[in-house]
Amino acid sequence: MIKYKIGDRVKFMNESGGGVVREIVSPTMVKVETEDGFEIPYMTRDLIIVKAETVAEKMFIEDSIKDIPVIEKQETVEPKSFDDPNISSLIIYPQDRKVDQFAIYLAFAPQHQGMLITGELDIYLVNFSAHKLMFNVSLKGQQAFHHIVSGTAPEYSRYYIETISRDQLDSWLNANVQMIFIKEQSKKLLAPVSTDVRLRGNRFYKESAYVDSLFFSQKAYLHRLVELKNIPLMGELAEVEGKEDEVITETESVQVMQNDEILKHKKKEGEAIVDMHIWELVSDHSSMSNQEMLELQLNYFERCLESAISHKFHKVVFIHGVGSGTLKKDIHDILEQYEGIYYRAASMADYGVGATQVEIPENF
């Protein structure tokens, strides 16, 4: 794979003309300033690098690079460079590096940002943490797991996995990601994690599923694999006054990351009530857009539903309110994709008209 850099002169393969690379969007996409001064995203496969052969051409490139506007930040965070072209650094400012928000994501970034629900998708593993991440990604077939990629994602980085067409999306709806977290020095050792990924195909055809984030300059669909604060410890260095430090051992290696979210909402054996109002899910939503709030609510709904299934709950009431009806409709769309799960309006006497009761007969 050819590695482009800012200032490269390129020609277009499928049309006349060319320009200068102004921004590296992803390993497969760059922004090119054309001869008429517009910046347009192009796939790297549609470009040819033009080498400067004369002194005049070299001077033209150098002058062109000088013309690139510099956006000043409050603080300067230099992106790290890596030998592996599949790895790119996340530009995360210190104020955004909040330990309680560290997580690993599977990300799907549409190549055509003007038409988010069509065209090819670039798939990334995003390591938003201060740990180095060793990982293995496999897709579930009918009779076997199919290995896709193994690698290492440094702290605060994203790892490009592959580009797929929408026709190939079904193969990614059921996957497994294995993870080991490494830090040079730490008082706590995180357990290895293996998590199953279950995605809903219809979500990829809703523009609201693609959001802005700290991790990309374009919109992407983000599926959170695990939050680091929820990972069990393999060992912890205890500091006890008057005693030498000792190593607290050693739970068994975690083979599957347990999703215990539904236990927070348990009311009695096998039953739970989950309030989906945004103020119940986040402490401050004043800076969130309507799309961001909806995406957060839907992600939490799916997490609770998956947890209810695995913990053998047979009835869960989700309180979504009335509002515009969008959250209720999207919740029902998700439920339609589950076999053996039934839903209906919850008791009006208990919840009014803004709640859905989900029943899981196999867990009775």
pLDDT in tens, 68-114: 444 344 444 556 778 888 999 988 877 788 888 899 999 999 999 98
Mean pLDDT, the chain, whole residue set = 83
Residue the block writes with tokens 């070299």: 58
Q: Do 233 and 251 touch, CB atoms closer than 8 A?
A: yes
Who wins on pLDDT, 290 or 313? 313
Provide the angle, in degrees to the nearest 10, between the axes of the packed helices 290-310 and 326-335: 30
User: What class does CATH assign to 9-66?
Assistant: mainly beta
Q: Where are the domains of the chain?
A: 9-66, 87-249, 261-363
**CATH classification for the domain delimited by 261-363, as one of 1.10.1040.10, 2.60.40.1190, 3.30.360.10, 3.30.1370.110:** 3.30.1370.110
pLDDT tens digit string along 177-227? 999 999 988 888 999 999 988 888 888 988 888 988 889 989 999 998 998
CATH (residue range 87-249): 2.60.40.1600
Q: Which H or E run contains 307? A: helix 290-310
DSSP letter for 185, please.
S
For residue 97, what pLDDT is reported? 85
How many residues belong to the chain?
364
For residue 54, what pLDDT is reported? 58
For residue 78, what pLDDT is reported? 59
Interacting residues of 164 by C-beta distance below 8 A, sequence separation 6+ = 120, 121, 123, 171, 172
**Same CATH fold assignment for domains 9-66 and 87-249:** no
The pLDDT of residue 47 is above 70 = yes
